[in-house]
Structure 1
Amino acid sequence: MKRDLLTSVILLVVTAFGALAQSPAEKLDAVVKGRSKGILVAAHRGDWRNAPENSLQALKNCIEKKFDLMELDVKMSKDSQMVIMHDNTIDRTTNGKGKVGDYTLEELSRFRLKNGLGRLTPHPIPTLREMMLAAKGRILINVDKGNDHLDLVFKVLKETATTDQAIVNVGDNMLYGKLTAENTLPRDAYLMVVVNMKNNNVDEIISSYAVHHKTIIQPIFDTDTLSSLKLLKVNKQKSLLWLNSLWPSLNGGHDDDRAVEMGQKEESWGWLIGFNPVILQTDRPVELTGYLKKRKLHP
């Protein structure tokens, strides 16, 4: 009996150590292939309530708080460098003004980011390279807004050896054939296409990605009465789903504020979970992670 007990304890320790040692790429792969039950949590623009959005500090916060994934946005500078910025201009989030593409990387480095209250911080505008190196082996990254410069995005991922821990948005409502005709994409990369569920060819778009085994579909819908939502439930192509709980126009009213401020977690997050997503993107990562863990739906 004592030996059996000792063996059980050793197995538990080994299992726990293995879970702790799991890399971000392994974690994503395990969830995608069904080896690990659960839904991953993506922090929208990082932990932006406690650090400037799209900043290195936001990334560090996400890592420290053990979020599964950070979503960030990229833009191209005047000298063709990929920097982290959501808007086309730097007006809202920095102490500068003008379009990102009107400045070189050196010029952009002189500006400082503002926090969520619009107050200036000491944090500079980071590059995609800096963010991926800081995230390497520590957290998954979703690269958004880079679909006009996919060659540069994948160049950075390849050079930093982080392709396997990144999900790259490739465009909106785009057929896979058109995407590959216009871009040379790594076969082993996770790609994500945003699909407006009001489009007439929703089924065609989703079906076209069945040939790429690492495609994630991100459906967008401002009402929950669309007949096309049945496609997500049926999911004949077994497409991987990424759903947003950010604001009502992305999820038919099943959003973060409804979950947290109105206390309607089941009506918001619970409703979204009914579609069996692989990833939920949120502006309330702490609360959503806690909710999923309570329901034993977080890996």
Structure 2
Amino acid sequence: MKAKLILVLLLLQTINLAAQNKVMVAAHRGDWRNAPENSLRAFEYAAAMGVDIVELDLNKTKDSVLIILHDQTLDRTTDGKGKPSDYTLAEIQKFRLRNGLGRVTRNPIPTFKEVMLALKGKPVLVNLDKSYPYYREAYAVLKETGTLKQALFKAEVTYPELKGKYPKLIDSIVFMPIVNLDKANARAIIVEYLKNIKPWAFEFNFRSDTSSILKDNRFITAAGSKIWFNSLWASLNAGHDDDLAVEENNKKDSWDWLISHGATVLQTDRPKELLAYLRSRRLHDGDRLKKR
């Protein structure tokens, strides 16, 4: 058992090191094209596919159990209605997730603990979106399951805000600030983080691609942090998105553009296609799969 744990830690370390000269792939809400978004099956499919990271969204039940659900209501993605906080876990477990066509499936809403236990021992990191209100609860689950090193905490807050809310957790978690590059204070936010902690990465969103940080972000990677871009929606990347790459087969102005502007992580809604493309260019560590 100890030998297996050491192997997993080494594999996770390999994932982190690979990002310095490769591009990591993060599957947005798992492999939601082949399973309901944020379902346990979607995360397992994505991990089996070979992604480096799965992204999920935290929410909480009436009896304070962390579950995986993007929206503030159950209406869009399940056969339930209303807020998850209106239901106990026992009640939540009676609902079923809808697939991409809106059809109800047999997939239940997973708890955060269930997901971390399912991914424990796999060389894949877990990106905790919408988690800022629940850091303490999430930390407790990760400690209980022995998966703290696999989790990426994130939030669109400044360093003083983070320190003010979670002063005792900062040094115990792997953290990634979200920064909107369209804002005038974007560079100041980045510099302040680099002075105080070493973020695992910076997640950048931008509607306009004119930010000076896009032109020169080597000071970030030189400090040991990665650069995370979201290729999923055009509004997050000034139109250099997944659909342009896949539907129009224009890699030059989509994935290639993001990579040329410093991407070491791409969060995508097209994980299968992105993995294949990166491997064709030898920009993804596909050999890691052989070690599983």
Corresponding residue for 1:177? 160
Task: Tell me the distance in 2 between the aligned counterparts of 1:244 and 1:131.
Answer: 23
Deviation at 1:275, TM superposition (A): 2.5
Corresponding residue for 1:144? 129
Is the Cα–Cα contact under 8 Å of residues 24 and 165 in structure 1 kept in the other structure? no
Corresponding residue for 2:279? 293
Deviation at 1:282, TM superposition (A): 0.3
Task: Tell me the distance in 1 between the aligned counterparts of 2:44 and 2:214.
Answer: 36
Q: Give the SS at the match of 2:169.
A: coil
Is the Cα–Cα contact under 8 Å of residues 79 and 97 in structure 2 kept in the other structure? yes
> Deviation string for 1:173-200 (max 9, x for gaps)?
x221220121131525221111111212
The 1:222/1:294 distance shift into structure 2, 3 A limit, reads same
Q: Give the SS at the match of 1:253.
A: coil
Deviation at 1:213, TM superposition (A): 2.2
Corresponding residue for 1:25? 12
Name the % identity.
45
**RMSD (Å), alpha carbons:** 1.8
Corresponding residue for 1:157? 142
Deviation at 1:239, TM superposition (A): 3.4
Deviation at 1:89, TM superposition (A): 0.4
Deviation at 1:85, TM superposition (A): 0.2
Is the Cα–Cα contact under 8 Å of residues 8 and 121 in structure 2 kept in the other structure? no
Size of the aligned set, in residue pairs, is 275
TM-score by length of 2: 0.89
Task: Tell me the distance in 2 between the aligned counterparts of 1:26 and 1:239.
Answer: 14
Corresponding residue for 2:191? 207
Q: Give the SS at the match of 1:207.
A: helix
Residue type matched to 1:253 in 2?
G
Matched, 1:89 2:73: yes
Q: 2:152 aligns with which of 139, 149, 167?
A: 167
Task: Tell me the distance in 2 between the aligned counterparts of 1:22 and 1:84.
Answer: 25
Is the Cα–Cα contact under 8 Å of residues 209 and 215 in structure 1 kept in the other structure? no
Is the Cα–Cα contact under 8 Å of residues 115 and 121 in structure 1 kept in the other structure? yes
Task: Tell me the distance in 2 between the aligned counterparts of 1:22 and 1:270.
Answer: 31
Corresponding residue for 2:4? none
The 1:234/1:266 distance shift into structure 2, 3 A limit, reads farther
Deviation at 1:135, TM superposition (A): 0.5
Matched, 1:127 2:114: no
Deviation at 1:166, TM superposition (A): 1.3
Task: Tell me the distance in 2 between the aligned counterparts of 1:232 and 1:180.
Answer: 24
Corresponding residue for 1:5? none
106-115 vs 271-280, greater mean Cα deviation: 271-280
227-236 vs 286-295, greater mean Cα deviation: 227-236
Is the Cα–Cα contact under 8 Å of residues 188 and 214 in structure 1 kept in the other structure? no
Q: 2:35 aligns with which of 51, 54, 69?
A: 51
Q: 2:230 aligns with which of 214, 238, 244?
A: 244
Is the Cα–Cα contact under 8 Å of residues 30 and 38 in structure 2 kept in the other structure? yes
Deviation at 1:28, TM superposition (A): 3.0
Is the Cα–Cα contact under 8 Å of residues 53 and 125 in structure 2 kept in the other structure? yes
159-168 vs 253-262, greater mean Cα deviation: 159-168
Residue type matched to 2:247 in 1?
E
Q: Give the SS at the match of 1:266.
A: coil
111-120 vs 208-217, greater mean Cα deviation: 208-217
Task: Tell me the distance in 2 between the aligned counterparts of 1:237 and 1:202.
Answer: 17
Corresponding residue for 1:9? none
Matched, 1:276 2:258: no
Corresponding residue for 2:206? 221
Task: Tell me the distance in 1 between the aligned counterparts of 2:199 and 2:188.
Answer: 18
Task: Tell me the distance in 2 between the aligned counterparts of 1:229 and 1:204.
Answer: 15
The 1:21/1:177 distance shift into structure 2, 3 A limit, reads closer
Q: Give the SS at the match of 2:54.
A: strand
TM-score by length of 1: 0.87
Q: Give the SS at the match of 2:253.
A: helix
Deviation at 1:142, TM superposition (A): 0.7
Corresponding residue for 1:14? none
